[in-house]
């Protein structure tokens, strides 16, 4: 896991930290990760199966751009299945996807560097359409016999694209000029044989090049929001040039997943740990649709959830969806284990270990179990595939249920492993999960325990629940809930003097934290309106006994983290 120090440089996070830097709620995985210390039998990873049906895919060859994943998301927004693969992926792994075209991503390298990554030969041999983006266009130029000159000046930011060949199929429905987002240093001096310049900008005479209406290169980024016509260009490539039909829809995904889960599970039994978060919820509903009562969900209540969260989750799954749920109120056990624990990492470890113990005890009562369903998402899969052994090692720990007994050797069922978070949400909505659950802000696995500075006690949990309830309520009333990555309260261990009526008070200091973020790796504090902050503060000091002061956290990440512990 890479985090940032105060200077903004990346550094390796300490190994024993269980802060999670990927997006979304991955509570259960975190427990499982922590539990790896307990030893035991490893679960069996599923065979790499890709969504089937009438297969068609666009494959993005990844050269490491920060936007690579965005390209894949943009393609999928056009309803075409897309995978991101490292540039050295062998053809045997690509062939089953039935690719209709390739996109070469941008990347930080220069084709002039020794050992600079290049595209695999099969993309040229396949005769399929290719679109090179940024570093990708330079790779095309270099490999196909053109000339790339090392750049003396970095061109970064807005530029205006002027089309020279308005009839190119890549430009269908495009105006003659439109803004684009540039970010490159090297430039193409000479195009490879057979290529012509299709568009230019002020600084780049070859902003777009093409050959045979099959191979194209863009010197700008079509995938970012700063290139407003970018999606049209991608769509023209995917449909007009690659001939895709667009069968990647939520409905198709659900149908195919259900068929696949049925095949995979047969008459087996499946367990799934529910957390109240969207990933585990969607997994549970999908698996339930496929195999009904062969699925049992285990909902471990560690007593560290928000007010009414337990009831809401339980009602949705048991009452509305009629699923098999084992609900375990383990709050006393957890509180006992958390006694006198102050160190945040020890809190996480203790909670993770206890969670696995309870989960295991309950799972044992079910008897033979064959599968463990988990909400692994595509970004985790990409990370594990692309960034070397360090990343793979980290990702494997998500899958590690080392705390489970040997006789429970489980196969993993990961029906969301090819979905991005926004796709998971669409699937959740389509499966009938309530909006409230589908759009829930991420909530850490150790729950309120890491939002109480110092020892966790029942009394402090009550105070924090009351405070958190007001924050949530006001943020939702202000219609800001979805715009914020997270918004919550922290109970500090500071007490200060106040005055209420004629009385002196000595109460807790509560901090409000609200951040905007794309992926939790970096975050900015939200500029909440003053009157909203005033309402939150007034209500907290008036409605929550024991709190007499409220502060707003105005630090971003880095150098702070989102959570206080």
Which residue lies nearer to ligand XMP by CB, 184 or 557?
A: 557
Whether 449 and 351 have beta carbons less than 8 Å apart is answered as yes
Minimum CB–partner distance for residue 276 and ligand XMP (Å) = 12
Give the binding-site size for ligand XMP (rule: CB under 6 A). Answer: 18
User: Taking CB under 6 A as the rule, does residue 557 contact ligand XMP?
Assistant: yes
Whether 180 and 160 have beta carbons less than 8 Å apart is answered as yes
User: Taking CB under 6 A as the rule, does residue 20 contact ligand XMP?
Assistant: yes
The binding track of 503-522 with respect to ligand XMP, each residue x by CB under 6 A or -, is: -----------------x--
Minimum CB–partner distance for residue 502 and ligand XMP (Å) = 41
Three-class SS state of 164: coil
Which residues does 332 contact at the CB level (< 8 Å), separation at least 6? Answer: 303
Which residue lies nearer to ligand XMP by CB, 534 or 554?
A: 554
C-alpha distance from residue 50 to each of 92, 120, 135, 255, 378 (Å): 13, 21, 28, 14, 12
Which residue lies nearer to ligand XMP by CB, 29 or 138?
A: 29
Looking at 348, 394, 425, 451, which residue binds ligand XMP (CB under 6 A)? Answer: 348
Residue 522 CA, chain-centre distance (Å), reads 13
C-alpha distance from residue 367 to each of 49, 72, 149, 268, 360 (Å): 28, 42, 66, 12, 11
Which residue lies nearer to ligand XMP by CB, 184 or 513?
A: 513
Structure tokens at 173: 């429905």
What is the rounded distance in angstroms from the CA atom of residue 150 to the CA atom of residue 98?
A: 36
The binding track of 182-221 with respect to ligand XMP, each residue x by CB under 6 A or -, is: ----------------------------------------
Minimum CB–partner distance for residue 380 and ligand XMP (Å) = 13
What is the rounded distance in angstroms from the CA atom of residue 14 to the CA atom of residue 397?
A: 15
3-state secondary structure 360-380: HHHHHHHCCCCEEECCCCHHH
Q: Of 20-28, 243-251, 286-294, 406-414, which segment contacts ligand XMP by CB under 6 A?
A: 20-28
Which residue lies nearer to ligand XMP by CB, 375 or 445?
A: 445
Minimum CB–partner distance for residue 127 and ligand XMP (Å) = 45
Q: What angle do CA 501, 504, 510 make, to 5 degrees?
A: 95
Q: Which ranges of 399-529 does DSSP label H, i.e. alpha helix? A: 421-430, 435-438, 458-477
* DSSP conformation class of 108: S
Concerning whether 436 is annotated as a catalytic residue, the answer is: no
Question: Annotated catalytic residue: which of 134, 242, 272, 297?
Answer: 134
Which residue lies nearer to ligand XMP by CB, 290 or 424?
A: 424
Whether 356 and 404 have beta carbons less than 8 Å apart is answered as yes
Whether 102 and 59 have beta carbons less than 8 Å apart is answered as yes
User: Taking CB under 6 A as the rule, does residue 18 contact ligand XMP?
Assistant: yes
Adjacent-strand bridge partners of 10: 4
Looking at 99, 403, 444, 466, which residue binds ligand XMP (CB under 6 A)? Answer: 444
Q: β-pairing, 411-413 with 371-373? A: parallel
Looking at 117, 146, 445, 466, which residue binds ligand XMP (CB under 6 A)? Answer: 445
Q: Of 43-51, 437-445, 458-466, 546-554, which segment contacts ligand XMP by CB under 6 A?
A: 437-445
Which residue lies nearer to ligand XMP by CB, 398 or 539?
A: 398
Question: Annotated catalytic residue: which of 33, 56, 83, 223?
Answer: 223
Concerning whether 221 is annotated as a catalytic residue, the answer is: yes
Minimum CB–partner distance for residue 387 and ligand XMP (Å) = 19
Minimum CB–partner distance for residue 343 and ligand XMP (Å) = 13
Q: Of 25-33, 50-58, 293-301, 423-431, which segment contacts ligand XMP by CB under 6 A?
A: 25-33
Minimum CB–partner distance for residue 561 and ligand XMP (Å) = 3
Q: Which of 351, 372, 420 is nearest to 24 (CA)?
A: 420
What is the rounded distance in angstroms from the CA atom of residue 527 to the CA atom of residue 168?
A: 45
Residues 461-500 that bind ligand XMP (CB under 6 A): 486
Three-class SS state of 283: helix
Residue 350 CA, chain-centre distance (Å), reads 26
Structure tokens at 552: 């707003």
User: Taking CB under 6 A as the rule, does residue 111 contact ligand XMP?
Assistant: no
Which residue lies nearer to ligand XMP by CB, 27 or 83?
A: 27
Minimum CB–partner distance for residue 299 and ligand XMP (Å) = 16
What is the rounded distance in angstroms from the CA atom of residue 107 to the CA atom of residue 61?
A: 10
| Residues of this chain that bind ligand XMP (CB under 6 A) | 18-21, 26-27, 30, 348, 442, 444-446, 486, 520, 557, 561-563
| Residues annotated as catalytic (active site), given as ranges | 134, 221, 223
């Amino acid at each position: 896991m890479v985090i940032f120090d105060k200077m903004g440089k990346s550094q390796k996070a300490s190994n024993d930290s269980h802060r999670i830097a990927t997006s979304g709620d991955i509570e259960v995985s975190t427990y499982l990760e922590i539990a790896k210390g307990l030893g035991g039998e490893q679960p069996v990873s599923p065979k790499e199966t890709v969504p089937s049906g009438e297969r068609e895919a666009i494959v993005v060859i990844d050269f490491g751009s920060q936007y690579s994943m965005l390209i894949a998301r943009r393609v999928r927004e056009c309803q075409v299945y897309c995978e991101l693969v490292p540039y050295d992926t062998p053809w045997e792994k690509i062939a089953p996807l039935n690719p209709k075209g390739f996109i070469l991503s941008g990347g930080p390298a220069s084709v002039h560097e020794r050992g600079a990554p290049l595209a695999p030969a099969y993309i040229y041999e396949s005769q399929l359409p290719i679109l090179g983006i940024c570093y990708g266009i330079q790779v095309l130029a270099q490999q196909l016999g053109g000339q790339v000159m090392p750049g003396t000046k970095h061109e970064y930011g807005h530029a205006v694209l002027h089309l020279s060949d308005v009839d190119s199929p890549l430009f269908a429905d495009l105006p003659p000029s439109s803004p684009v987002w540039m970010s490159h240093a090297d430039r193409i001096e000479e195009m490879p044989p057979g290529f012509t310049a299709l568009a230019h900008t002020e600084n780049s005479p070859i902003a777009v090049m093409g050959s045979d209406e099959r191979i194209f290169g863009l010197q700008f980024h079509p995938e970012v929001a700063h290139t407003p016509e970018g999606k049209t260009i991608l769509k023209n490539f995917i449909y007009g040039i690659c001939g895709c039909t667009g069968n990647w829809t939520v409905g198709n995904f659900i149908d195919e997943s259900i068929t696949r889960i049925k095949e995979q599970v047969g008459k087996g039994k499946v367990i799934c740990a529910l957390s109240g978060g969207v990933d585990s919820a969607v997994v549970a509903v999908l698996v339930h649709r496929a195999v009904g009562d062969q699925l049992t969900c285990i909902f471990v209540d560690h007593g560290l959830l928000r007010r009414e969260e337990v009831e809401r989750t339980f009602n949705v799954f048991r009452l509305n969806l009629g699923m098999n749920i084992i609900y375990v109120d383990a709050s006393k056990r957890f509180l006992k284990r958390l006694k006198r624990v102050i160190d945040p990492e020890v809190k996480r470890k203790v909670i993770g270990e206890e969670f696995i113990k309870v989960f295991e005890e309950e799972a044992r009562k079910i008897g033979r179990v064959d599968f463990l369903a988990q909400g692994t998402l595509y970004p985790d899969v990409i990370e594990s595939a692309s960034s070397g052994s360090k990343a793979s090692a980290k990702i494997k720990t998500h899958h590690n249920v080392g705390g489970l007994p040997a006789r429970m050797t489980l196969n993993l069922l990961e029906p969301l492993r090819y979905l991005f978070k926004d796709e998971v949400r669409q699937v959740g909505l389509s499966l009938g999960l309530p909006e409230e659950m589908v759009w829930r802000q991420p909530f850490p696995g150790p729950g309120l325990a890491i939002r109480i500075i110092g020892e966790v006690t029942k009394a402090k949990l009550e105070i924090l629940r009351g405070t958190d309830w007001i924050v949530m309520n006001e943020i939702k009333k202000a219609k800001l809930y979805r715009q914020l990555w997270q918004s919550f309260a922290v109970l500090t261990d500071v007490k200060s003097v106040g005055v209420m009526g004629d009385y002196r008070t000595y109460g807790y200091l509560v901090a409000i934290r609200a951040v905007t973020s794309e992926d939790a790796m970096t975050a900015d504090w939200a500029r909440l309106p003053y009157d909203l902050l005033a309402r939150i503060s007034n209500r907290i000091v008036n409605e929550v006994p024991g709190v007499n002061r409220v502060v707003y956290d105005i630090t971003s990440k880095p150098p702070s983290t989102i959570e206080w512990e």
